[in-house]
Amino acid sequence: MSERLVKAGYVTTVTGSNVSGVLAQSGTGDSGMSRAVQIGSLVKVLTPKSIAFGVVSSLHVDDPSTPPESTDRRMIEIDLFGEAMISESDLGDGGFTFQRGVSVYPALGAPIYESTRDELSQIYARPNAANIQIGTLHQDGTLPVYVMSDEMMGKHFAVLGTTGSGKSCALAVLLRSVLQSHPWGHIVVLDPHNEYAASFGDAAEVITPENLQLPYWLLNSEELVEVLCSPDGASRDAEANILKAAVVEAKRAFIGETPSAANFITVDTPFPYQLSTLSQLIERSMGKLDKADQSTPYLRLTARIDSLRRDKRFAFMFSGLKVSDTMADVVGKILRIPVEDRPVTLFDLSGVPSEIVDVVVSLMCRTIFDFAVWSPRESTIPVLLVCEEAHRYIPRDHSGFQPTREAISRIAKEGRKYGVSLGLVTQRPSELSETILSQCNTIFALRMSNDKDQDYVRTVVPEAAMGLMNSLPALRSQEAVVVGEGVTLPMRIRFNDLPPEHRPASDTAVFSKAWETEEQPEWDLIYETIERWRHQVR
């Protein structure tokens, strides 16, 4: 065998894809365990026809002495994930072809060896498919890590990690790497805290309620009912029926009574109509009632419509006396068609009134998916939708706004057929819909200290990666375990560094610096803050 080989131990148990062994003894009071044989390290085991590769998932002493003795049996557990079909004489010479999965298992007593740097570089080599470089390998910080971009985006991905683990920076690294290789992309980020504007600079179109008119007539029936109708059941149902009938008539009034209008105009058809016409139609229906006590739902609807039109917070959706068909402009701005050197759309949700933020998210997600569905198949434009704080929109307990959940669920289940990719980002994966998370075939798991979150993530990752998943609580900031279709093999990585000017604005307040001086804030700060608060200006 090659002198480059360092024997770490030998096999004592083989169970499916797991192998247990005893570490070699040095006979000098030391265990003889190499520094490379640590949790997450890559090792190799001889089989009759191949070399099986695996990740160290556990190290322990079997029946330890007190104090420890050099004769104690030091055990190692390995999760196998791939093999090289070559002869033993080639072992360690670097001439092999690696493949996922194990067809030939090690025999009892087979030697366990450390993997060399050359073997690491071949196993984690740059894929032949389209790829992006996002970081370096944990085992060897000089080896770059690649993700296959089509597999990651075409089959959805998720970035999971507790607050402070580097989740926002990880997403910024991923998206910036994608755009570096694919500059004419179409990426839409739902940004609830206005974090990512600095990450993309001039490459992003930042959409806020101040610079985008998102017309109310794009809302479908469920979204309209959420915005305009009472929250309680009986009143809500009565108002919803009145509203839906009036909306259909208002749309027909806007486009004119053409012979074809009756065939395709529904409450969900995205055609313009005027709020004034809607109010008039509701009042006209109320005038046809036989009893005055039946007018309550009609009065509530007209009062709510009038209230929204006068409330400046809702001006981005309900303002304007003149109504025109601006759908093409709105969709083009959201999807960056044409790109015009700004492939990223950052939708700043921090300025959207809390009462309708779920409705706006639902509208955005549904618009992106419906545009893809109705686009000519030969002209489909792939779009990546990234949902920050995803647990707010698709919670595990089915709470929240159901249309938002349904819109994201459709993208998760059917988006691949139409070129719509989904990226989920959350610090509480245990609160996320398991059905939708399971559709994400590439997982970037950063540090997680919560047991529920760890257990939840384990349910959606392959068994071969369980050993790596055990390291989640011990990951450092900027580190992650990556598993799934986007990578050749499960791996622990360190994301690339982001220059300070490209980091998301998600840093925790530095109390020690803010409180270390005697200088007190001026009264002007209070007055300015109150003015911004009252006028809803950030």
- The 10s digit of each residue's pLDDT in 281-311 is 999 999 887 666 688 999 999 999 999 988 8
Q: What pLDDT is stored for residue 30 in this prediction?
A: 42
Q: What pLDDT is stored for residue 537 in this prediction?
A: 64
The answer to whether residue 6 scores a pLDDT higher than 70 is: yes
Q: Sort 60 into a burial class: Cβ within 10 Å, 0-12 / 13-18 / 19+.
A: exposed
At 430-483, the pLDDT tens digits run 999 988 999 999 999 999 988 888 888 888 776 666 777 888 888 998 999 999
**Mean per-residue pLDDT, 65-69:** 81
Higher pLDDT, 30 or 337: 337
58 band by pLDDT with thresholds 50, 70 and 90: confident
The answer to whether residue 372 scores a pLDDT higher than 80 is: yes
> Is residue 325 within 8 Å of 272, Cβ to Cβ?
yes
The answer to whether residue 217 scores a pLDDT higher than 80 is: yes
Q: Of 117, 95, 135, 104, which Cα lies nearest the Cα of 42?
A: 117
Cβ neighbours of 104 (radius 10 Å) = 13
Strands 187-191 and 383-387: parallel
The answer to whether residue 178 scores a pLDDT higher than 90 is: yes
> Is residue 284 within 8 Å of 246, Cβ to Cβ?
no
Please state, rounded to an integer, the average pLDDT across all residues of the chain. Answer: 86
Q: Residue 359 is inside which H or E element, if any?
A: helix 357-374
Q: What pLDDT is stored for residue 536 in this prediction?
A: 62
What predicted TM-score, i.e. pTM, was given to this entire model?
0.87
27 band by pLDDT with thresholds 50, 70 and 90: very low
Taken in order 480, 486, 490, 493, the sign of the CA dihedral is negative
The answer to whether residue 515 scores a pLDDT higher than 80 is: no
267-to-224, 422, 426 alpha-carbon distances in Å: 10, 28, 34
32 band by pLDDT with thresholds 50, 70 and 90: very low
Taken in order 363, 153, 194, 391, the sign of the CA dihedral is positive
Chain-centre distance for alpha carbon 85: 37
Looking at residue 15, what DSSP letter applies? E
2 band by pLDDT with thresholds 50, 70 and 90: very low
Which residues of 415-457 form beta strands (DSSP E)?
420-426, 442-445
Residue with tokens 């309900």: 318
Strands 73-84 and 7-15: unpaired
Collapsing DSSP states into helix, strand and coil, what is residue 223? helix
Strands 420-426 and 442-445: unpaired
Tokens of 26: 């040095």
Q: Which amino acid is at 99?
A: Q
Interacting residues of 143 by C-beta distance below 8 A, sequence separation 6+ = 117, 120, 121, 124, 136, 137
Q: Residue 532 is inside which H or E element, if any?
A: helix 523-535
Residue with tokens 């360092």: 6
- Please give the biggest Cα pair distance in the chain: 101
Helices (H), 419-488: 434-437, 451-458, 466-469
The answer to whether residue 241 scores a pLDDT higher than 80 is: yes
Residue 220 φ/ψ, nearest 5 degrees = -85, -175
